[in-house]
Structure 1
C-alpha cells in the first residue's frame, strides 16, 4: 500500500478513535438528563426538554460512536461460517460487503445533507412543547455519517492490505 493510503488510514483511525473514546462518556450525559427528568417530575414541575434532549444525546452517542465501533470490530456479524474462515477469506468477504456499506452511507449522507440544508433554510423545529431547532442534531448526524463513510473506506483499505499479505 502506498504512503497516501497508509496516511489516510492512520489519520482516519486516529480521529475516529479519539471521537469514539470521547463519545463513550455520552452515556453519562444521557443518564444525567434522565435523572434530572425523574427528579424534576417528583419534586418540581416536570421539565419539557428532558425527553427530547435525552433522545438527541442518544442520537449523538450512537451516530458519533459508530465509526469507533466499526474500527474496533464491535459491529454485529453472523458468525455461523465467518468465525471459521482464514483471515484472508474474511478480508475478501469484508472487502466485497464494504461496498454495500459505502453505498448505503453515501445515500444516507446525501439525504442527511439535504434534510439539514432544508432545516437550516426554513428554521424547522420539533413539534413538541419544547420546540427545539432540528438543525443541530442534523448537523451531528451529517458529521457522524461522514466519519462512518471515511472509516468504512479505511476498513476497505485494511482488507485489501490483508488480501495482499501486508499490514497497515
Structure 2
C-alpha cells in the first residue's frame, strides 16, 4: 500500500503544479479578453479595425484550456459539484466507500471511453486520412482564425490527466477503507518536504 500511496502522492504533486499553471492561464485569458473588448471600442472610435478573429479565438482557446486542464485539480481538492442528501451526513469511511466505487465504476471508465472516442476525431483534425496518409490540419473557417487541431488535442489530454488523478483519488479512498489514512498523510508530507525543502 505504501508504494501505491507514493504513486498517488507524486500524481497529486503534479496536479498541484498543473493548478499553478492554470492560475496563470486564467490571468492570461482575462488579459486577452480585456484587450479584445478595449480594442473593439477604441477601433470603433477611431474607425480602424484593431481586433481580429485570431485574438477572439485565442480567448476561447485559453478558456477551453483552463476548463480542460482544471478537471484533475478540481477533483483533487473535492471542488466538483455534488448533489446529494445523504453524503454530507456519512462517516469518513462511508464517504470513502461511495467515492471509491464511484471512481472505479464511473469516473475511470468515463475517462477511458472519452479518450478512446476522441482520438480519431483529433487525428482527423491533424489531417489524418482514412487511407493512412496525412493531409492538411483543420483550421478555423473564419478569416484570420487559428488552427483547430491543437485545441482539439487538449480534449483527450484533459481526460487523460483526469484519469490519472482519478487513479490517485481511488488509491487514497482505498487507503481510508483499509486503515492507512495516517500513512497516506505521512507520505504526502514526506513528498512535499522532499520536493520543497526549506
TM-score by length of 2: 0.79
Where do 5+ consecutive residues of structure 2 fail to align? 44-48, 128-134, 185-198
RMSD, aligned CA: 1.4
Matching residue within 43, 46, 52 for 1:47: 52
Q: In the alignment, is residue 160 of structure 1 matched against residue 174 of structure 2?
A: yes
In 2, Cα distance between equivalents of 1:54 and 1:11: 32
Superposed, 1:18-33 pairs within 5 Å as 18-33=17-32
In structure 2, how many angstroms separate the alpha carbons of the residues matched to 1:97 and 1:130?
44
Question: Residue 9 of structure 1 contacts residue 157 of structure 1 at CA under 8 Å; is this kept in 2?
Answer: yes
Partner of 1:9: 8
Counterpart of 1:76 in structure 2 is 81
Equivalent residues in 2 for 1:116-127, closer than 5 Å:
116-121=122-127, 122=135, 123-127=137-141
Unaligned runs of 5+ in 1: none
The structure whose Rg is larger is 2
Q: In the TM superposition, what is the alpha-carbon distance from 1:50 to its structure 2 partner?
A: 2.5
Aligned to 1:151: 165
Q: Is the 8 A contact 1:24 1:65 kept in 2?
A: no
Question: Runs in 1 of length 4+ with deviation above 6 angstroms?
Answer: none
**Partner of 1:110 in structure 2?**
116
TM-score, normalization: structure 1? 0.92
CA contact (8 A) 1:40 1:47 kept: no
Kept after mapping to 1: 8 A contact 2:32/2:55: yes
Q: 1:138 Cα deviation (Å)?
A: 2.0
How far did residue 54 of structure 1 move?
1.0
